[in-house]
Amino acid sequence: MTDRSTQPGPASIDPDDLKIPMAKPGMAIGLLGGSFNPPHAGHLHVASVALARLGLDRVWMMVTPGNPLKELNGLPTLATRIRATRALVRDPRIVVTGFEASLGSAYTWTTIRHLVQTFPRVDFVWVMGADNLAGFHRWQHWRRIAATVPLAIVDRPGSTLSAQSSPAAAVMSQARIGEAAAGTLAGRPAPAWVFLHARRNDLSSSRLRAEGRGL
């Protein structure tokens, strides 16, 4: 897998975008990571569902330098993707950040470990679309991630069944909570996860790029 040393650098990026956003003790914060290449309404839909259903104070849309499981050739710069993502956001509770580029690793586990050590009194929840749960077992240290922070899975078109029958879902089956208890997820000790059914948005970054609507 590729690390940050071979990924597009943060040229022309605002130094503040490489800083971890503000987090106060007692806050509940959702972490939504992705390449956002390009960002679209489907990403905002996932963030908005998480805010509404989990009772979060913030969702951090973390624009990553690059996904180790995806091809990096042609990936727009981090600064470009941060600007495009921020242009879509209207809710002040959704914070766009590129701080992962300052951590020296491309992996989610590194980010989560750093955040829980830095903010021990903040309740973090990892938020992802159902399409990501389907391949979650291929992430580096995915079991450690699931054992460290609760997970919120937002339904995505074409991924409902594959996500809920995925290897990771099977391993974590005993830690699943019902949707009616979603508002309690942030305060629960890991492992804990919930699958949120909601109005589904069929936009995807790969589809937009294929249609020539990328960044």
Residue-wise pLDDT tens digits, 184-206: 999 999 999 999 987 755 555 55
Domains and CATH numbers, the chain: 4-210 (3.40.50.620)
The band of 1, judged by pLDDT with boundaries at 50, 70 and 90, is very low
Categorise residue 192: left if φ over 0, alpha if ψ from -120 to 50, beta otherwise: beta
Q: Which residues contact 120 (CB under 8 A, 6 or more apart)?
A: none
The CB density around residue 118, as the number of other CB atoms within 10 Å, is 10
pTM for the whole structure: 0.86
In tens, the pLDDT along 41-73 reads: 889 999 999 999 999 999 999 999 876 655 556
Q: Is the dihedral of CA 128, 129, 133, 136 positive or negative?
A: negative
Q: Is the dihedral of CA 109, 34, 127, 85 positive or negative?
A: positive
Say what the pLDDT of residue 66 is: 72
**Which runs of consecutive H residues, i.e. helices, occur in the chain?**
41-54, 78-88, 108-118, 130-134, 142-148, 160-164, 167-171, 205-210
